[in-house]
Structure 1
Amino acid sequence: MTKNNVTADEDARASAVLLDTGNLVLRSPNGTVIWQSFDHPTDTILPGMRFLLSYKGRVMGRLVAWKGPDDPSVGDFSFGLDPDLGMQIVTWHGAKLYCRISVWNGASVSGGTYPGNSSSVVYQTIVNTGDRFYLMYSISDDSPYARIMLDYTGTMSLLTWNSYSSSWIATSERPSGGYGVYGSCGPFGYSDFTGATPTCQCLDGFEPDPMNSSRVCRRVEALKCGSKNHFLRLSGMKVPDRFLHIRNRSFDQCAAECSRNCSCTAYAYANLSSAGTLGDQTRCLVWTGELVDTWKTNNYGENLYIRLGDSPAVHKNSNLVKILPPVVACLLLLTCIALVWKWVRRKKEIKKKLMLRYLSASSELGGKNSDFPFVSFEDIVAATDNFSDSNMLGMGGFGKVYKGILEDDKEVAIKRLGSGSGQDNTRKDVLDWLTRFKIIKGVARGLLYLHQDSRLTIIHRDLKASNILLDNEMNPKISDFGMARIFGGNQQQGNTIRVVGT
């Protein structure tokens, strides 16, 4: 413990208090804080602790890891603000850059659940007040005890307390499994942390170099200065290292800065007005040359705009994800409709063929001595010359009538029902008893009139349901008198040598 501007009397009467936050505070008798452990971190950041990164442009504290798992002496790894760029937090291995955690984009708060399926939420807060630039972590009320620690291997771990095992459990680590180490995925590559296991991927518009066995990505289409290039937006990215910070630019101005410079390979923009920043309220970053050390994650990130050549292949790759799903969905829908239609049509054809076979084999209709022998549809088509207009005799309410000549040179009249001659769907409901009784009485009165009250006695000889017409009021009318016979006034019976009616 160091003493700064503390008199002997104050030192003699000072008291030390360990707060519930984990902060060890040394107070004078009047309550003034003389010293506190939160201002002098070692390798750990506790929730609520303000880790001061810089003050008035001067880099301040660093976390320093232990030498080993059981050796608390100064180790090789340290964590703090990058003194060269001043906007990103990094981990060093000695004097060498080991891992970049993030670049400040003006978002004062970012967070996520750890582990992913739990209700515990950890918030990372980066605050820039103009003079002070500091980092804080906080946790939700229902979360277990947690702390951020830089261990002796250079890994920044989020540790949560497990009350069942009475131990600290690492729920998030950077870098993880070798991924996230500075430049581990090579130029124009990135560490993908969106899946269950981190992987190295090439940025869109780039592909693995088959001539290089190491992790190197190359452009699908080379850039040509003076030609029309385009910028592709990548979301959820940690922006690359080696950027140039251009001040006081709007988004359009930032994009124009990169667009008119042939050496510019990418840009990123952030509006800092909501972050409480004093002075410049914008952050325009541009890159020239290779894009090194970036990653993609679900919990935080920003938009990175990369420059690509104006190639059809690049356009195809960038738009394939947007175009392919709706096209495939439409094709599948059309295929399903076609299959259903074909199945229904085939079912009807099979049913029709089975009915024709049944009728052809029927001794009742197919006998040679029958007055109404069965005639197949194919024979009817041949007899009417495929229902030629030259053979049409007339047109009725339910279809057209054609003249036909059968194989035995017998002339027949054939009615072909129209497509609209089916049952009216609006009247397909079962009739109630009163309506049916009304129809029956109407038919009976009609027959009584034909047989008794008419001037000419008429025998219908083909009375059936299809020859009973109904008006809107369900009043019956007897129709189709083509087979009717007229009897004389004193005639009681008549003879016929043909079977008629149904």
Structure 2
Amino acid sequence: MASTTLLLVTAVAIIGSARCFAADTITANSAISGGRTVVSRGGNFELGFFRPAAPGGGGDSNTASSHNYYVGIWYKKAVKPCTPVWVANRAAPVSDPASSQLAVAADGNLVLTNEAGELVWSSNVVISGSSLNATVAVLLDSGNLVLRRDDGEVVWQSIEHPTDTWLPGVRLGMNKITGHVQAVTSWRSSSDPAPGMYSLGIDPNGTSQFFLSWNRTVNFWSTGEWTGSIFANVPEMTSHDKYNFEFVATANASYFYYSQQDPTVISRLIVDVSGQARQIMWMPSTEEWMVIWEEPHKLCDVYATCGAFRVCDEKSEPFCSCPAGFHPSSVEDWELGDHSHGCRRNNPLQCHNSSVRDKDGGDAFLLAPGISLPRNSSPAAAAASPSSSAEDCRSACLRSCDCNAYSYGSRCALWYGDLLGLSAMDTASTDDLYLRLSAMDVPSNGCRKRTVVVFVSVASTASILACLSVIVTVLVKMFRRRQRNIRFMQAAAEGGRRGSPAVDGAGGPGAGGGRDPGRAADSNVAASSIRR
């Protein structure tokens, strides 16, 4: 009996030691793998492996877009379907979560290894001290994953490495000592959490405004400076009493954060794959996200939202289309929300092909009516002088294989590289945009050449037919005249034979009142023959 009791106590101790860390904790001995997850203490967030749902799949794992798996944090309560707010291995998915694992390594870092045991992702911090094995990762109710020592010191946290979501209470700004700027970066597409083209971050030059930027190089929207209560270009901040806003500037850092007056409300700010920044709130009654505000208001004001050589028109569906002579580079990526590939020409340019470059089969230009000028200007955009003619402008672009378009109106401008930011216009522009295409894709050139060929062919054929018609008509008339002469001669000869005896028996020319009856008879026969 005593031995049985001892075994039970031992078993309980073993179970207790296995669960000495709460369900919100990852250690060296309690890795995340397969379907195992950890949940924050209050049940707000969950961490584990997930697979992005395909568009329209509603988050069902059966409709996932690929076999790529990621480690992420998502809402545990209320929000359906699975909505990740942070992803560890954004650009390095694993294919088998059952044989991959997230654990605390021997050096104290939080690491993700794949099915081959290879390192995929790491917190990548230097942890000194003798108690490396005591480092643990804990998922908090704020959605923050922290890596801390046994003494409570935080050595790494996920909120300092945001993905596409800015959660309440999270500071977003710049470390003035290191110059590091935290930025919220969009997904590449709705099913690919890899870093996309759009990001939101504070001005690295030290002002209080935040910029939306494309490819971290082109700023296309600003919050405006902090006024003390709101950002100047976001007046919607004054119309909502559910949030508290705070901007802090010190000698070491500048940052902004927001909090919610009602902690039960689920809200977040995201940088969407479309390039818009959106403050959204979960509505339990309708089970969907409601947009509080979004910037820019017009989707076509987002820089390069449709990609290269693609035209944005908010009045059409879909709102992005390819101009004449172009087709989508990737229809599949576009359906997933990845617009970065834009459009490409139906046929490649012939500028580099010396055999056709200087012939009629080279490159040509097509007028793109109702389309704005590109937003990505080039230093050589105004290479031609203002006094140049339209033909001079065209020739200047044609001489460079890197020139993809020219505009002419108030002045001549040449456009190099991919054309970005094209949009439909309601009013006519003073500058006409001409896109460079292969000559075979320019209808005016092709039609003109075909028209000349067809015209010449038709004219030649008509001339030949006219000549043949004249010849045939002349031959027919000659034939009919010959036939009449033959019939006349035959009739005359036949009449002469019949009239000879009557003449001989008449007794001379004076008989019958001086008329020759035989000659009269011959005339009647001849006339009858001609009428027939």
- TM class by shorter-chain length? 0.3 to 0.5
Normalised by the size of structure 1, how large is the TM-score?
A: 0.33
Normalised by the size of structure 2, how large is the TM-score?
A: 0.31
